[in-house]
Amino acid sequence: MSLMVDTFGRKVEYLRLSVTDRCDFRCVYCMSEDPCFLEREQVLSLEELAWVGQAFTELGVSKIRLTGGEPLVRSDCDKLVKQLGALPGLSELSMTTNGSRLTKFAEKMRDSGLSRLNISLDTLKPELFTELTRNGKVERVIAGIDAAKAAGFKRIKINAVILRGQNDDEVLDLIEFCRDRELDIAFIEEMPLGIIDERKKSRHCSSDEVKSIISKRYQLSVSNKRTGGPARYYTMPGSSIHVGFISPHSNNFCHECNRVRVTVEGRLLLCLGNEHSVDLKVIVREFPGDIEKLKAAILDAIKLKPKEHIFDVEGEVQILRFMNATGG
């Protein structure tokens, strides 16, 4: 049972742990075209990240998701996976990845103890994929998805951010892609983090709009599937896959939020849509080996977790940090 309970009675049982702010893509909803990455000494080492993970599991976290940036840019990430996977009380260790390096690392990650994968894929069109990622190749990601399936990963989930006028005409194509490969999929409303030029034009596409598109071909039925994350899941006739919707704008899920994030520079973010944070790196480096002091700092920080986020589709960007610096 989690010892971390915020002032609104929510138990924190889920940690998203960023292993890097770097990425081999430059996705238009995630970072600027010419990002400024952290220097090596500013980021936590794999050993420090594992120690943070241990502190959280000792406080009751049962699920950890490794995020970035792109976690597999850190090519020795399997060492962290092995350390975290051995922690008592951890029921699930997963990763969010752009999939570009899975042909090389999928089997190694699986053998090291990673249990689940979320893979980002917003379009199946090669030219649009390169435009949205600013440099990526969709063929590499699809090959990575197939490599992950071949490595034995089950219930792989595709994450797709739908943008009006850019890829909203591919919703059904993405559904068919996932049905064919038996992949779950989550459609995500764009989150307004960081000032990005492309976001100046209105491109918000709500979950209800995406559901409406899918309903033209398939009837969606509410599923009882829960993963501990914010997605609401549905099923379709003739398929075992689940279709999820993450709706930070149109269906605020803050009242049941059970998660926090730790950035690769050691900042404990208590809410995706607020700037509340606590610097854990100071504790990690000033008191190496003193896990009780680290746990005490985490427990104190949980009291600062805000009630909710407020995202304004039309207003000014309220959160200046980019998604790659936040941890997905």
Does 261 count as an annotated binding residue?
A: yes
Number of H helices, E strands in the chain: 10, 12
What is the signed CA dihedral for 189, 96, 126, 132, rounded to 10 degrees?
Answer: 50
Does 99 count as an annotated binding residue?
A: no
Does 4 count as an annotated binding residue?
A: no
Does 69 count as an annotated binding residue?
A: yes
Does 259 count as an annotated binding residue?
A: yes
Does 260 count as an annotated binding residue?
A: yes
Q: Rounded to whole angstroms, how far apart are CA atoms 24 and 37? A: 12
- CA-based nearest residue to 44, from 279, 269, 270: 279
The answer, yes or no, to whether the previous bond of 69 is cis (omega within 30 of 0) is yes
Does 29 count as an annotated binding residue?
A: yes
Does 178 count as an annotated binding residue?
A: no
Does 16 count as an annotated binding residue?
A: yes
Q: Rounded to whole angstroms, how far apart are CA atoms 123 and 96? A: 17
Whether 245 and 162 have beta carbons less than 8 Å apart is answered as: no
Does 14 count as an annotated binding residue?
A: no
**Cβ of 255: how many Cβ atoms within 10 Å?**
10
Q: Rounded to whole angstroms, how far apart are CA atoms 94 and 67? A: 9
Does 30 count as an annotated binding residue?
A: yes
Does 157 count as an annotated binding residue?
A: yes
Question: Residue 5 burial (CB < 10 Å; 0-12/13-18/19+)?
Answer: middle
Whether 317 and 273 have beta carbons less than 8 Å apart is answered as: no
Q: Classify the phi-psi angles of 197: left when phi > 0, otherwise alpha if psi is within -120 to 50, otherwise beta.
A: alpha
> Can you name the residues that pair with 116 across neighbouring β-strands?
94
Does 271 count as an annotated binding residue?
A: yes
Does 120 count as an annotated binding residue?
A: yes
Structure tokens belonging to residue 259? 């998660």
Does 155 count as an annotated binding residue?
A: no
Does 267 count as an annotated binding residue?
A: no
Give Cα 290 to chain centroid, integer Å. 29
Residues 17-56 as b or e (16 or more Cβ within 10 Å = b): bbbbbbbebbbbbbbbeebeeeeeeebbebebbbbbbbbb
List the binding residues for S-adenosyl-L-methionine.
Answer: 29, 69, 120, 191
List the binding residues.
Answer: 16, 23, 27, 29-30, 65, 69, 96, 120, 157, 191, 254, 257, 259-261, 271
List the binding residues for GTP.
Answer: 16, 65, 96, 157, 259-261
List the binding residues for [4Fe-4S] cluster.
Answer: 23, 27, 30, 254, 257, 271
